[in-house]
Amino acid sequence: MTASPTVLSALADGVLTLTLNRPDKLNSFNEDMHLAFREGIQRAHDDPAVRAVLLTGAGRGFCAGQDLGDRDPRKGGPAPDLGRTLETFYNPTLRLIRSLEKPVVCAVNGVAAGAGANIAFACDIVLAAKSAKFIQAFARIGLVPDAGGTWSLARTLGEPRAKALALTAEPLMAEKAADWGLIWKAVEDADLMTEAEALARSLAAGPTLGLGLTKRLIQQAATNSLDQQLDAERDCQQQAGRSADYAEGVTAFLEKRPARFSGK
């Protein structure tokens, strides 16, 4: 395992595990962690040995959003330009997660607040410990939800629930988040990492070219018409049908044996 001070990164069995690692601050983002996290996701794009990503947090929290110690108004000076910090840090990382054509599993091990919650919602499959909660903490400090939160909450939950969560900053427990379809499932705390690791390993051993295309299609569906989506499915299926994984999958089925996918 290689370690940077703020994000731990380990590659095994095709799974790149990124662990946010500022546990004393509930893994809130300082500039170093922003850069290290983005570097990790960029590696997932660039390194063919990475076939799935598992994101989690060290210690008792998943991520408490921006480090507010770095925003202390008592230190004086002009008000910070938070539009610039979103443009510089959160937005590029969010775009990298969404455009990564490999599965991203998120294991929410504890509280996920502010941008921390919304980064989790940007991942493809989210598991959370039953004790974990999601908080749109922005309303408590006079900000608006960011890191894609207004987009993912409104799309997934509809306006009534999205607005209530964002305007009240009321914590949403993991089981309710799963009931509402905001995450995939809530699991016993003790089982979280075992289950998330098994899922990430199984995805990484799967036909990852096809899985990446599937991710792309489902994301495109949000803005496509049915006609556009049917065309997109045709094009992706054409590409998937020419893959080594498709040939292997069908051969393995006919030979009644497990498939050995290569992601090609």
Q: Which is nearer to ligand T3D, 30 or 224 (CB)?
A: 30
Long-range contact set of residues 173-181: C-beta below 8 Å, sequence gap at least 24: 173/130, 173/132, 173/133, 174/108, 174/128, 174/129, 174/130, 174/131, 174/132, 174/133, 174/134, 175/130, 177/128, 177/134, 178/128, 180/156, 181/156, 181/157
Q: Which is nearer to ligand T3D, 90 or 261 (CB)?
A: 90
The two tokens of residue 44 are 């997932």
Q: Which is nearer to ligand T3D, 23 or 184 (CB)?
A: 23
- Position closest to ligand T3D via CB: 65
Q: What is the CA radius of gyration of the chain?
A: 19
The nearest distance, CB 146 to ligand T3D, in angstroms, is: 5
Q: Which residues pair with 113 in a beta bridge?
A: 135
CA distance 22 to 222: 35
Q: Which is nearer to ligand T3D, 97 or 236 (CB)?
A: 97
The nearest distance, CB 198 to ligand T3D, in angstroms, is: 28
Q: Which is nearer to ligand T3D, 136 or 208 (CB)?
A: 136
The nearest distance, CB 45 to ligand T3D, in angstroms, is: 24
The nearest distance, CB 110 to ligand T3D, in angstroms, is: 8
The nearest distance, CB 162 to ligand T3D, in angstroms, is: 17
Q: Which is nearer to ligand T3D, 78 or 258 (CB)?
A: 78
The two tokens of residue 8 are 């731990």
The nearest distance, CB 171 to ligand T3D, in angstroms, is: 7
Buried-exposed string 203-221: b where 16+ CB fall within 10 A, e elsewhere: bbbbbbbbbbbbbebeeee
The distance from CA 245 to its chain's CA centroid, rounded to whole angstroms, is: 25
Q: Which residues bind ligand T3D (CB under 6 A)?
A: 25-26, 28, 64-69, 71, 82, 85, 111, 113-115, 135, 137-138, 140-141, 143, 146
The nearest distance, CB 203 to ligand T3D, in angstroms, is: 28
CA distance 227 to 34: 39
Q: Which is nearer to ligand T3D, 64 or 172 (CB)?
A: 64
